[in-house]
Amino acid sequence: MPTSPPFVLAHPDLRFGNIFVDDDFHIIGIIYWEFTGTIPLQLFIPPPWVTGHDPDTLRIMRGLVRGPFRDENFAEFRDVLQNKRQTCSISEKLWHEWGYQQGQAGQEESPIQRVPTIAQILRHPSSLMSVYYSSLFRMLFGPLANRDAEIRKFFDHPDNVSLVKQVELQIEKSKRYTQYLEERGLLIEDVHSQQIREYLANTKHLVHR
């Protein structure tokens, strides 16, 4: 019988705000281990802010003086791992397991550059919208594609006409539930929910004919 792929222990949120370092940038502690769990080895990847699939953290980093762009993070991480593999067996193992050797100059991108988008969504479903539009959308429609134009084109397609009513129904349900919570003082405001409401409001006109 074929053996199942192994599972590994993984921290769910290795954003830099959860990693403590000393004055020499040596890691001295990591918080929130209580949320650690096992995941398939295929989903064991570098932190999403390294691979460029954590838009919120990348926006914070861009607010810092000379904050890096998403590709700069990945390139720097790859270079550090390549240097460490000379003296660290764990770094050497990760270098090969993540397929970085396939991403050298003149070769195709490494496998680890293609996995994080789906892995981030599977591990953190609430990031679906932000990760999709920051990564998958550009891959599917090109770097210059207009989001509103592509959404309108999708709903204008004859095969998707029935989805218009479903979207309108979901928007109406969301409004009624939000109103229900507000009237009873149960609504807890947060940035993510506000972004979702703004997105729904801004794209509602795209499903109306």
| 205 or 84, which is more confident | 84
Whether pLDDT at 176 is above 90: yes
pLDDT band at 150 (very low <50, low <70, confident <90, very high): very high
Over residues 82-128, the pLDDT tens digits come to 898 889 888 888 888 787 665 554 445 555 666 678 888 888 887 88
Average pLDDT over residues 138-152: 89
**Spans of all domains in the chain:** 152-208
- Residue 50 above 50 pLDDT? yes
Per-residue confidence band for 207, with pLDDT thresholds at 50, 70 and 90? low
Quickly list H helices, the chain: 48-51, 55-62, 70-84, 89-97, 116-123, 128-131, 137-141, 147-156, 161-183, 191-203
Confidence of residue 1 (pLDDT cuts 50, 70, 90): very low
| Predicted confidence (pLDDT) at residue 186 exceeds the cutoff of 60 | yes
- The three-state secondary structure class of 8 is strand
115 against 14, higher pLDDT: 14
The DSSP-derived string for 10-70 is: E-S---GGGEEE-TT--EEEE--GGG-EEEEGGG--S-HHHHT--HHHHHHHHTSTTPPPH
Q: What is the pTM of this model?
A: 0.59
- Between β-strands 37-40 and 7-10, what pairing exists: parallel, antiparallel or unpaired? antiparallel
8 A C-beta contact, residue 73 and residue 50: yes
Residue 105: what pLDDT?
43
pLDDT at 65: 47
